[in-house]
Chain A
Amino acid sequence: DSGVTQTPKHLITATGQRVTLRCSPRSGDLSVYWYQQSLDQGLQFLIQYYNGEERAKGNILERFSAQQFPDLHSELNLSSLELGDSALYFCASSVGTTTDTQYFGPGTRLTVL
């Protein structure tokens, strides 16, 4: 158990819909990272927040957005969902940024029908 929690575990929805994934970092960690893992693309870094502020951006689509709240939990919002958005979404946290070890949560499996 990494100490990072993600909800829900599974999510099934239809194309065009919007969903919100939630992540609670390990106690004391200020950074939260979001990743997408699909069979054909592997692990793709989406975005990082540090203490409430966006710190780094990866291959995040414009239909996706995220935020980190004052209690440090984070939410990833996915809108206008497409079949290709079906994937595992992981959240990770670290104490700070740059070289700090990331601890990954168990993931949310999103299925878009």
Chain B
Amino acid sequence: LAKTTQPISMDSYEGQEVNITCSHNNIATNDYITWYQQFPSQGPRFIIQGYKTKVTNEVASLFIPADRKSSTLSLPRVSLSDTAVYYCLVGETYGGSQGNLIFGKGTKLSVKP
């Protein structure tokens, strides 16, 4: 059963790059990794998803090493509006079917001016 671990909090300044790492030592071969962002009193919002290597979209990059036991969400040039909680999610799959969805405890990112 996959378990995820992420730092509880991180601080950054506007314009910096922020990297948040999630450990998932027991990830299985077909499990996928997704990152979500959550603002207070709102539901989580999808950021990025991947299986391995590197994935990039218009808001973030996701780095997954070959052993897939961790993943790193990279936010380029953060702004004050990026202050939020970031969750990594490991989605277990069994023979192509959906299994359990394991969220990390979340990393509270505080961006300062």
Inter-chain contacts of B45 with A (CB < 8 A)? 2, 104
Nearest neighbor of A43 in chain B, beta-carbon distance = B103
Tell whether, in the assembled complex, residue B49 and residue A99 are in contact, meaning their CB atoms are under 8 Å apart.
Answer: yes
Scan residues 74-100 of chain B and give those whose CB is less than 8 A from a CB of chain A.
87, 91, 93, 96-100
Q: Which interface residue of A2, A43, A92, A99 has the most chain B CB atoms within 10 A?
A: A43
Partner of B105, one of A42, A98, A103: A42
Tell whether, in the assembled complex, residue B44 and residue A90 are in contact, meaning their CB atoms are under 8 Å apart.
Answer: yes
Taking A42-B106, A56-B101 as contacts, is the C-beta distance between A98 and B93 under 8 angstroms?
yes
Give A71 to B3 CA distance when docked, in angstroms. 35
Give A30 to B17 CA distance when docked, in angstroms. 37
Tell whether, in the assembled complex, residue B44 and residue A43 are in contact, meaning their CB atoms are under 8 Å apart.
Answer: yes
Tell whether, in the assembled complex, residue B101 and residue A58 are in contact, meaning their CB atoms are under 8 Å apart.
Answer: yes
Partner of B96, one of A33, A42, A98, A105: A98
Classify chain B's interface size.
20 to 34
Inter-chain contacts of B91 with A (CB < 8 A)? 98-99
CB of A43 to closest CB in B, whole Å: 4
Main secondary structure of the interface of A (DSSP, over half): strand
Tell whether, in the assembled complex, residue B46 and residue A101 are in contact, meaning their CB atoms are under 8 Å apart.
Answer: yes
Tell whether, in the assembled complex, residue B43 and residue A45 are in contact, meaning their CB atoms are under 8 Å apart.
Answer: no
Q: Mark A88-113, 1 if CB is under 8 A from B, else 0.
A: 00101000011101111111000000
Tell whether, in the assembled complex, residue A56 and residue B43 are in contact, meaning their CB atoms are under 8 Å apart.
Answer: no
**Does residue A48 face the partner (Cβ distance < 8 Å to B)?**
yes
Inter-chain contacts of A105 with B (CB < 8 A)? 43
Inter-chain contacts of A106 with B (CB < 8 A)? 41-43
Scan residues 31-60 of chain B and give those whose CB is less than 8 A from a CB of chain A.
32, 41-46, 49
Inter-chain contacts of B43 with A (CB < 8 A)? 2, 4, 90, 92, 104-107
Tell whether, in the assembled complex, residue B99 and residue A99 are in contact, meaning their CB atoms are under 8 Å apart.
Answer: no
Give A107 to B105 CA distance when docked, in angstroms. 18
**Does residue B102 face the partner (Cβ distance < 8 Å to A)?**
yes
Inter-chain contacts of B106 with A (CB < 8 A)? 42-43
Q: B residues near A, CB below 8 A?
A: 32, 41-46, 49, 87, 91, 93, 96-106
5 inter-chain pairs at a CB distance below 8 angstroms, sorted by A residue, are: A44-B103, A56-B100, A58-B101, A97-B97, A104-B44
